[in-house]
Structure 1
């Protein structure tokens, strides 16, 4: 019997379409922004009862206690001291310098709005650096989105700057915000360039070891380390430990691993608007029409950056 030959005019099999990412992966950017935006609120609740570096050291120590069992379980993901050293650098920059700078600036009298505006330059700073450092190309559409995002952030916090006497602010507070900006930018770029190849649980634990060392030295050098263990302080501490240091930071590390640095950094444009809405709900801070328009502009800017079309 002659073998049946395939028909030359038979329709070709349809090309396989790439599977869409799981729902959690698609929701990661939104969840990250929502969680990260509560950081300023936690600082507002907790800083009246502890100095900034002391507050952060207690926070990081609590995170290390919670992460220790996970780090032990992930010890099979150990890839050597070089990878651990990269995580130490990331932790010192992203957690130690960034959070230390923000908390110090707010404690010195810088308003959350001004601090958010200074740190809001981070996506543009990242976009400038990704080309020579990471070889990533930022398109014209993305540059437009980055500029729009910064403009939207300025509109949201601009109303808070009116009448606050920005020119009379302690320059030390502004230095703290600028250091925070440099820390989060350098840490994001460094993690993207060198931070892969290690289990996320183990890497996060190592990062917080470095962060605790940075703020611990600062607390010993310049603070009294006195703490008032009030209900508000305990609530703020618990929130920042679980929601920010474990939840939001883990999401940030996953976003950096999965995406381009410029796209990930652009999400920070959404933090001041969401923070403003949260402060309105919790503290009755008003949102004027300019701030509402600014939130729309910031969202549009981020949409331009993260869109892959």
Structure 2
């Protein structure tokens, strides 16, 4: 049991479940705060939480000093650029279409990994499994609300979200390939704290300063979002750094995020109820994960015979 709780599969599912809970918290937070400023405060607090959990200041700052260039680059790309693209695109595109584009992120990450790692190429089985997952996301998204384009600016929004997906792939590759010698906790803490601080500064000339007052539910949402970001990013960076873990295959688990998000909305939001398109989409995503798992096991069985 203990080995299962430490397994890559369990940790990947746990991280994706945590990310799936963000929808309700973000919806509450953005009711009272502006997007970039709220995200900056959330990530800065997340970085502090990981720092407190790490509990070894001397080791923490030694690793920060030794890897400051990489940490600053990751902070810029992963937090500042990625989330600026995310929120900017989200403001220009209908929510249903944005959800579908963001849900296709594993495909873009797999493409980035294909051109970066010699042992993480796109095979026919992997490509098919990922495309099945993307189809499942599309069924859930279109089934829950119609996708309607209303203006030329929405094409810019689509472009921003597509670039966001490519940036997500780049950050995953950066962590997997170039973060040797850095603790996943230190890497997550520093990148979130620095990135959150920069986002907060950028938000001031764009969005102004918003100091409240905020109701209790805003603070509850901020507290949960800060915790889940701290936990999910640390878990994800930990498994990305594990030997033998392939970036493309790991990110396929992110297809679970909209599935879990929909299930949570049915449980927590009064007006949300299960619908046929969502259930069909979930079944398609399950098929995607099962086919990919089958392909992985088959490859592992065949590997010794090729020696």
Quick check: TM above 0.5? yes
Partners of 1:294 and 1:205 in 2: CA distance: 35
Partners of 2:26 and 2:103 in 1: CA distance: 18
Partner residue in 2 for 1:293: 280
Partner residue in 2 for 1:23: 5
Cα deviation, residue 60, structure 1: 2.3
Q: Does 1:145 align with 2:132?
A: no
Partners of 1:87 and 1:267 in 2: CA distance: 26
- Do the aligned partners of 1:110 and 1:173 also contact (CA within 8 Å) in 2? yes
Cα deviation, residue 110, structure 1: 4.4
Cα deviation, residue 55, structure 1: 0.5
Deviation by residue 1:235-275 (Cα, 9 ceiling, x = unmatched)? 110010012x1111112112212221001111122211221
Deviation by residue 1:196-252 (Cα, 9 ceiling, x = unmatched)? 321122212221133124312320231112143112211110010012x11111121
Pick from 175, 187, 202 the counterpart of residue 218 of structure 1: 202
Partners of 2:3 and 2:96 in 1: CA distance: 35
- Do the aligned partners of 2:39 and 2:199 also contact (CA within 8 Å) in 1? yes
**Which secondary structure does the structure 1 equivalent of 2:241 belong to?**
helix
Pick from 20, 34, 38 the counterpart of residue 17 of structure 2: 34
Deviation by residue 1:31-55 (Cα, 9 ceiling, x = unmatched)? 1121111122211111010001110
Q: Does 1:157 align with 2:141?
A: yes
Unaligned runs of 5+ in 2: 298-307
Structure 1 residues 84 and 300 mapped into 2: Cα distance closer, same or farther (>3 Å)? farther
What TM-score do the two structures reach when normalised by structure 2? 0.83
Pick from 215, 227, 233 the counterpart of residue 249 of structure 1: 233
Partners of 2:234 and 2:157 in 1: CA distance: 28
- Do the aligned partners of 1:88 and 1:209 also contact (CA within 8 Å) in 2? no
Give the CA RMSD over aligned residues.
2.6
Pick from 92, 102, 105 the counterpart of residue 122 of structure 1: 105
Cα deviation, residue 300, structure 1: 1.7
What TM-score do the two structures reach when normalised by structure 1? 0.82
- Do the aligned partners of 2:82 and 2:168 also contact (CA within 8 Å) in 1? yes
Cα deviation, residue 89, structure 1: 2.4
Partner residue in 2 for 1:236: 221
Unaligned runs of 5+ in 1: 1-18
Q: Structure 1 residues 36-45 or 25-34, which shifts more?
A: 25-34
Cα deviation, residue 306, structure 1: 4.3
Pick from 146, 150, 162 the counterpart of residue 178 of structure 1: 162
Partners of 2:145 and 2:79 in 1: CA distance: 27
- Do the aligned partners of 2:44 and 2:194 also contact (CA within 8 Å) in 1? no
Cα deviation, residue 291, structure 1: 1.7
Structure 1 residues 182 and 216 mapped into 2: Cα distance closer, same or farther (>3 Å)? farther
Q: Does 1:280 align with 2:262?
A: no
Higher helix share: 2
Partner residue in 1 for 2:302: none
- Do the aligned partners of 1:59 and 1:237 also contact (CA within 8 Å) in 2? yes
**Which secondary structure does the structure 1 equivalent of 2:236 belong to?**
helix
Partners of 1:270 and 1:111 in 2: CA distance: 22
- Do the aligned partners of 1:109 and 1:173 also contact (CA within 8 Å) in 2? yes
Instruction: Mark the structure with the bigger radius of gyration.
Output: 1
- Do the aligned partners of 2:37 and 2:200 also contact (CA within 8 Å) in 1? yes
Pick from 172, 197, 203 the counterpart of residue 188 of structure 1: 172
Partners of 2:195 and 2:116 in 1: CA distance: 24
Partner residue in 1 for 2:27: 44
Partners of 1:206 and 1:140 in 2: CA distance: 38
Q: Structure 1 residues 134-143 or 233-242, which shifts more?
A: 134-143
Structure 1 residues 165 and 141 mapped into 2: Cα distance closer, same or farther (>3 Å)? closer
